[in-house]
Copies of this chain bind each other. A is one copy, B any other.
Amino acid sequence: RIMRPDDANVAGNVHGGTILKMIEEAGAIISTRHCNSQAGEPCVAALARVERTDFLSPVCIGEVANVSAEITYTSRHSVEVQVNVMSENILTGAKKVTNKATLWYVPLSLKNVNKVVEVPPIQYARKEQEDEGKKRYEEQKLDRLETKQRNGDLIFPVINPEPHTVGYSQSSLIHLVGPSDCTLLGFVHGGVTMKLMDEVAGIVAARHCKTNIVTASVDAINFHEKIKKGSVITISGRMTFTSNKSMEIEVFVDADPFVDEPRERYRAVSAFFTYVSLSKEGKPLPVPQLLTETEEEKRRFEEGKGRYLQTKAKRQAQLQQAAQ
């Protein structure tokens, strides 16, 4: 679809969150269709996880985003979908790959939302495809267990914070979950949640560096808990790490069932977003260093540095591999 002014920031770059939302919608359609392709219990595919996603080039207002999706692996109870986004300038005809994303969906029964139904197996062109898919499946399963344990953290506000400290840029946003945010099962679309997460992360990044910023990448996101229609969700973001030219922001989503529900507030999702700051000509700008104050902040900064160096090493290994 054509990118509109409302999809973009003041510099005309389309929000990463808008693109994540389109990706997730495409993934939800293809996996729901697949899971209902054989006689069996009607079901709706719910997003369980998005793998790390890089935004390779910014999309601008007026460009057309082309989204294509393909099922690349199925386990007994989950579907892996690969989604590619191309942006196309329909005036010049120029096309660019914007990003490639991998998503995992789990089919939930339409009659009983707590029941996961079986996924019809797909046919693989080659045996290795199945093996590689199985490997990815095992890896993400492990990773999901790990993040589940790290999810107790809260963000507390700071009074009169100094510029460039963590407290200075941290932000939260409240959203009341409406009908258009939800699937047929009455739970929030993963894409809606990701769009809100990107919005908060973008506000944190812009507050820190006071310039035009764009999403560079999103780390793997696990959706542990469903969020029901009518809930209030609080999306909070804080900066964890800065390199010379990038910022890492941790985002939490907490849900409050809020009406007619005995349940307490719970952590539904958390993720790391990386942002870069761009000049008017689209060149990366230096980013002010994050000032850490508490022991916790210093620890998180070091962990962020670890993730940053790991990603950098991985990318260089890929470049070398490609050059060979």
Contact = CB atoms under 8 A, between A and B. Distances in A.
A163 B229 CA distance: 23
Interface in A240-257: 256
A322 B256 CA distance: 41
B33 A258 contact: yes
Contacts of A44: 91, 259
A37 interface: yes
Interface of A: 1-2, 4-6, 9-10, 25-26, 28-29, 32-33, 36-37, 42-44, 61-62, 64, 88, 90-93, 110, 156-157, 159, 163, 171-176, 178-180, 184, 199-200, 202-203, 206-207, 210-212, 229-230, 232, 256, 258-260
Which 7 pairs between the two chains have the least Cβ-Cβ distance? Answer: A5-B179, A179-B179, A10-B230, A5-B5, A42-B260, A33-B90, A10-B62
Given A29-B90, A110-B259, 18 more contacts: A2-B29, A4-B5, A5-B6, A10-B230, A10-B259, A29-B258, A36-B91, A36-B258, A91-B110, A91-B210, A110-B260, A157-B157, A171-B174, A176-B203, A179-B179, A180-B180, A207-B256, A211-B259
B62 A2 contact: no
Total identical chains? 3
A42 B259 contact: yes
Contacts of A184: 61-62, 229-230, 259-260
B32 A91 contact: yes
A82 B2 CA distance: 19
A254 to B, nearest CB: 13
B36 A93 contact: yes
A81 to B, nearest CB: 14
12 contacts: A4-B5, A5-B178, A5-B180, A9-B62, A28-B176, A33-B232, A36-B258, A42-B259, A93-B207, A172-B172, A180-B180, A210-B260
A259 B156 contact: no
Contacts of A25: 1-2, 176
Contacts of A9: 2, 62, 176, 230
A275 to B, nearest CB: 13
Contacts of A212: 259
A91 B176 CA distance: 27
Contacts of A5: 4-6, 178-180
A92 B40 CA distance: 10
A87 B144 CA distance: 36
A304 B182 CA distance: 38
A6 B3 CA distance: 9
Contacts of A199: 1-2, 176
